[in-house]
Amino acid sequence: MAERLQKIMAQAGIASRRKSEELIKAGRVTVNGQVATLGDQADPEQDDIKVNGRALPPFERKIYIMVHKPRDVISDEDDTGEGRRTVRDMIQEVEGHLYPVGRLDKQSIGLMLMTNDGDLAHKLTHPRYQHEKIYRVKVEGSPSRETVVQWRRGVELEDGRTAPARVKVEERLEGSTWLEVVLTEGRKRQIRRVATQLGHPVLHLTRLQIGPLKLGDLPLGQWRHLTPREVQALKRYTAKDDRPQPKRDGRGRVHRRRR
């Protein structure tokens, strides 16, 4: 897939995007033998890209895999020596190092994205970009309207106040309630910690969506490669992250300069 040269060079470890732009402007980058200009695009899988006459390092084919994580599987590598099963263990037939995009705790199930595209993983997980993740959550009891409003506004935890969230009551049952929770940050066990602090511990938690990527009907415990359309949707969704981001406070509010 064609991308801007400075982005390809940065991903290949040649230089930062800004420095790569300077190399292009200086005429030190060629594509298929022709001197490149700023704004040119290329496909690293098909085009011959050289910097100072040297070819870029071998291009690593990008992999994007959706996993429906079951319970008792951990998101990250097991560094305890206990031999716990990981999401990576579920897709052993796929070679290479893959990053988990947003973690789920051992008890939670749902959508996990595994990829070797570090740039995309960073954009989807870093709190500065405010990308949404959607969860279906069952909690104990019946949260009052005031409790739901408090959750929406933010809750003070030991590591600071949470950013505003969208919380919607979907169904009230006897002794429990189903909620839809939409977060733009991803602290460790955040939903469980907030729910417990508000007096309604989590009974069940499923992640349904990361940005435009939906879990859909993928069976529990199964995985599949993303379709080209899904990959394109994620790249379009994160394309705006290449622009300078406004500074925000701990509550997610934008700092505005006084005039």
Task: Pick the catalytic residue from 47, 105, 119, 241.
Answer: 105
Report residue 79's pLDDT band, with 50, 70 and 90 as the boundaries.
Answer: low
DSSP string, 183-203: ES---TTHHHHHHHHTT--EE
C-alpha angle 183-188-193 in degrees, rounded to nearest 5: 80
Look up 105 and say whether it is catalytic: yes
pLDDT in tens, 148-200: 999 999 999 999 999 999 999 999 999 999 999 999 998 899 999 999 999 99
Reported pTM: 0.74
Please state whether beta strands 109-115 and 202-210 pair in parallel, antiparallel, or not at all (unpaired).
parallel
pLDDT in tens, 22-52: 999 999 999 999 999 999 999 988 899 999 9
pLDDT on residue 102: 83
Cα gap 218→120, rounded to integer Å: 22
Report residue 61's pLDDT band, with 50, 70 and 90 as the boundaries.
Answer: confident
Cα gap 65→68, rounded to integer Å: 10
Helix segments in the chain, DSSP class H: 5-11, 17-25, 118-125, 145-153, 190-197, 228-239
Tell me what the mean pLDDT of segment 98-106 comes to.
89
